[in-house]
Structure 1
Amino acid sequence: MPKAIVVHRTGGPEVLELEDFDPGLPGPGEVRIRQMAIGLNFLDTYYRSGLYPAKTPLIPGGEGAGEVVATGEGVGDFAPGDRVAYVFPLGAYAEERNVPASHVVKLPGAIDFETAAAAMLKGLTAEFLLHRTFPVQAGQTILFHAAAGGVGLIACQWARHLGARVIGTVGSDDKVPLALAHGCDEVIQYRREDFVARVKEITGGKRCAVVYDGVGKATFPGSLDCLQPFGMYVNFGNASGPVENVSMVDLGNRGSLYATRPTLFSHISRRPVLEAMAENLFSALENGVIHAPVSARFPLSRAADAHRALESRATTGSAVLLPDG
């Protein structure tokens, strides 16, 4: 019988338990996928810990790639044997699972399963950040926090391709060359440097058009001081804790700034938008505009070790879970 990681009570990594799991026949509008690789994201720890409320028992994970093995009633766009990838809903930490066909996209033959599993959530996040939330233009200077993380490595490459000057922050010295090799023009090690002062120095006091922040509490409100008048602060993650107490008056006093908290859920809720975003992402991967390096691989049975590595910030780039069989 296929296996899955199940969370019966929220808590630390130890609550991730490997169990037998039969997803059953796909229901109307669903496809059953035999997973070849499963994406691993910091977001997964939010559901496991209870930061993002969800009913238990739950199977974590929001992205994967594999082959269709069965289709439910009314599914006409997919057939057994199709190579596919998807993002959401939860339930990815499983060897086989059922997914609404509306969330599934066909995977080009040039993209392997590990890359797809590693790039769907992070790559589509980079896509909506750079192309939809604040469309980056050539000649603009941007700041991207956690530039050596999964989203950061993809987004900084993409932003450089779009013609932006990219400043990235990282949390350790060993991540500096990695960020420089993946799109950053300048890298700030924020644990030993004042990133606000360095941004002002790098830009000659002009600061940035946009700050993309997946770190949260530790980089706010300093990120606002890195923005030029009418600049945009984009918060898309809480790696250090959620941003709290954002003052509308403060945004005005700092230069008529914009602040937003976009989510991937909102963007992909419409099928045509998902298809367009995936097409843009796959094209960028196929054409070498971006690379999504898989830096760590864990057996599904070692999901707890994978979460410990994520939360200790020991990982760089993307990591995947692989079915034990």
Structure 2
Amino acid sequence: MKKKRYVDLINSAPEFLARDIPPRTWLLDKTIPHPSLGMLFAYRGNGKTFTALDLAVHVANGERWMAYDVPEARAVLYIDGEMPIADLHERLTALCNAHPPKNLYVLASEDLAVAHESLNLAVEKDRDAMAEAILHMVKNVVRDDFGLIIFDNWSHLIRGIDENDNTKLDPLKQWFIKLRHGEQSVLLVHHEGKARTGQRGASAREDMVDYSIKLTELFEEKPASRFRFEWDKVRGVKPDPMDFEMLLSEVDGQLGLRLADPSGNRNAEIKSKYDDKIRPLLPGTFTDIKEKSGLHDQTVNRILNRIAYRGPNGDWLLND
């Protein structure tokens, strides 16, 4: 096919609007469009992989996930970059509850290592090989486009490249966008920076995504862990809700993620419990309050911003 010139692709507004363009569909109803390119980031140990795997299982099953409907079941490819295969097997077993979706596919990093292969998407030949593998799966196995491809995580699947250099990230950026143009939705899992102000590395990575999600561990509520899920960036209509809390816990002996306290009653109890733990430590510095309370940085910061204010000397003072 002869390649079209740029001028051949320019439409007048009436011509453009007269085209029969299929409406955009949704991965999560009125939340994550399909196709799309997104990022899920969190500080180390804050539930990134569990959240990504749980989302993968629900999208593959076409089941409601947390606060959002999943309009239809779609094929999902989960590409692991670092986890011991026993841990990946254990987590997926727990999340699937003995019923693994047939249209969920897994590429485990340990399988690659045993086969004396490597996957480094910073290298062009590896990107080409991965694109070839995806195309083969689409044509011969799935016989449809992948609804979602998850890369977990950026640091282990993309090595030997300066994360802070926008120019060096450009080939990767174009490769991921090309996947989206090929009707694949992509989710990149990444680490939050040490300053806890956003995903680590160059701004070009965030610029290319349609949405980004931040996970924050709030505190441990034995025997569970509680996380906040919040939309850090969205294009278009804002999701409803924009944030919520999740519990990673065992229910009937089955480890999994669940929406925490839809009624809000338990949230109110926990807020009161932790507020009462902080109040006696005021006035004081953030460091002193954190050390004496034994709570996580994020929890202390959230409570202080709700019940206190920073005084002229930098100490936190209780609201009147």
TM-score in same-fold range (> 0.5): no
Look at both structures and tell me which one has the larger radius of gyration over its CA atoms.
Answer: 2
TM-score, normalization by structure 1? 0.32
